[in-house]
Structure 1
């Protein structure tokens, strides 16, 4: 027999709300802001998030690969990269401590950007 846990409702998976004593993962909101910054059409090819902690802080480390398509993809990629480290991100109960482009390249009909970000829980 299969049962459904009422805590893990579909709405929570979409919005990534906190469950129990764990804080919400800021990755979905960060992805939405990165896609908006890159412009349309942009696809998220891969996005991973894992816990991170130091002696004083806790947060999450994110690895993200975006695929930019369209005739203006090279212009949008350059605009995306310009000022990325100084950009302001709106993440409830978190802040972006570090974000950078790790790699970028081209495929037959698109360009891609791989970046990493560190988000810290804001106490």
Structure 2
């Protein structure tokens, strides 16, 4: 599992922090972009990343659960899902080959989004 504690750090990151976000595993940078897409308030409840490979490519398979809070959580979940598969992601040395919402659920004033993504190393 990849740590995501640094995602909620203040936005003025130094070069060392930015370098860590754009390291070998693209998950931290992808999580930051997913949270930005979800809007505030939102948290990553769970995020896992494991190696993936085919005959021609290598990358990582990610499983992510995001929880959105607030009176507008349902509207933000719908906006988050709209066009997710066509969205552009900025990942150093990787690209998102596939991303999809696997499950979503609602509760009073909160929404859950469970999604999976496949990132491929871009040589």
Q: TM-score, normalised by structure 1?
A: 0.82
Change (3 A) 1:101 1:56: same
Indicate the structure with greater helix content. Answer: 2
Structure 1 outlier segments of 4+, above 4 Å: none
Runs (5+) with no aligned partner, structure 1: 1-10, 19-23
Alignment of 1:59-70 (within 5 A): 59-70=59-70
TM-fit CA distance, 1:109: 3.9
Runs (5+) with no aligned partner, structure 2: 1-15
Q: Over aligned residues, Cα RMSD in angstroms?
A: 1.6
1:40 aligns with 2:40: yes
Alignment of 1:36-115 (within 5 A): 36-115=36-115
Larger Rg: 1
